[in-house]
A and B are shown apart, each in its own frame.
Chain A
Amino acid sequence: MKKLARPLPLLALLLSAGALFAHHGNSAYNETARVPIKGTVTEFVWVNPHSQIYLDVKDSSGKVVNWGIETNSPGILTRAGWTRHALKAGDKVTIIMCPAKNGQPVGYAGSGDPGTKVVFDDGRELLFTDKTK
């Protein structure tokens, strides 16, 4: 008898939509959105309580804008498998993030908003899931 494929869990589909589970609670960001921005990391700041990722992103007119992405504390990131060397200047990445509502080049990607993540050009991903669960 042909082996049946494992179905994609329904929960994963809902989480990829992001809208239902946002609980970060910061109304500066549009937490129902998951917007990809692609660019080159200029700085990775590993500090409490908000680490930050800065990256140069070319907009539709070709102008380079430096974006600042708020993320989690080193404690939370460590439990998700990150280290302070996880990102470095020059890394080419796409960040799925929640953008600021006011159109400023800042946003949030972290454990508070499922579906946000960092994807390297070579396909590797940095996620925010607690691996100590």
Chain B
Amino acid sequence: MRIHSFSPLALILLMVSGANAQAPSKGASQPAPHRDLSGVWAMQPGGETSADDKQSPGGAIPSMTAWAKARFDLEKPGYGKRAAPGGNDPILQCDPMGFPRILYFPTPFEFAQVSNRVLQIFERDNVVRQIWTDGRALPNDPDPLWYGYSAGKRVDDTTFVVDSTGYDDRTWLGAAGFPHSEAMRVEERYQRVDRDTINFTLKINDPQAYTKTWIALPRVFKLRPRAEIRQGYCVYSEESAFTRRIREPGALKTGTAPKN
């Protein structure tokens, strides 16, 4: 019988290749269906560099105008570097989260396409955001809405671009309290690169609040074919109990952290 001897490196390579051969195959990625974003999508983590990035577009945040800085300085977040008891983040009383903050909240959404709209159905608060696809222009003087007014178009078979304005300025651009004005314009680009993957970019133009365009961190959404959107309503009585029992004690500036 022939006896084989292996160097340690060869043994390691053999073990790794064996492990890979035994792992269940996930299959090669399937091509993206044309002009179709339907399905439940989950934003992938990654790239956030700061506690200020929680629930926010992230990336390099442009300088704020004096108007925005004055607003920012008044905000008392419930999370992040400036967290303190008695926070005034609107979502602590279950006010609408607003857009694009809801997109960065760690629960999924579903795209559903109807004849003249793409519906973006968020698990958070069961929000249904309407993106009009009938060719209409954005209104010149829109009513300020919690989730803005959106119109979208397909620029090719796999890319959907959305333009929005008319935002209620009480919402925050993330948990750290970055403000925006009613005239904020948001451009989103969803590029479905294969069946399971959307590459996503977002830009915010808001000259009343920021001196330059805010270019968000590029993100990836992954399809979740086995996931269902649940009713994720925020209920004020439940949220205020959580704030009283856990959030505010955690935000107190007292004591020392327990060691491992």
Contact = CB atoms under 8 A, between A and B. Distances in A.
Contacts of A132: 224-227
Interface of B: prevailing SS: loop
B45 A48 contact: no
B232 A73 contact: yes
Contact of B79 (A26, A30, A33): A26
A104 B250 contact: yes
B158 interface: no
A7 B15 contact: yes
B185 interface: no
Contacts, number: 132
Contacts of A52: 242, 245-246
B254 to A, nearest CB: 6
Interface string A84-119: 000000000000000111111110000110000000
Contact of A111 (B16, B106, B235): B106
Interface of A: 4-7, 9, 23, 25-30, 33-35, 45, 47-50, 52, 54, 68-70, 73-76, 78-79, 99-106, 111-112, 130, 132-133
Interface of B: 11, 14-16, 18-19, 22, 42, 45-46, 48, 51, 53-55, 79-81, 83, 105-108, 123-124, 175, 222, 224-227, 229-230, 232-235, 238-239, 241-242, 245-247, 249-260
In the complex, the 6 A-B pairs of residues with the closest C-beta atoms, listed nearest first: A103-B255, A25-B54, A28-B250, A75-B230, A132-B226, A132-B227
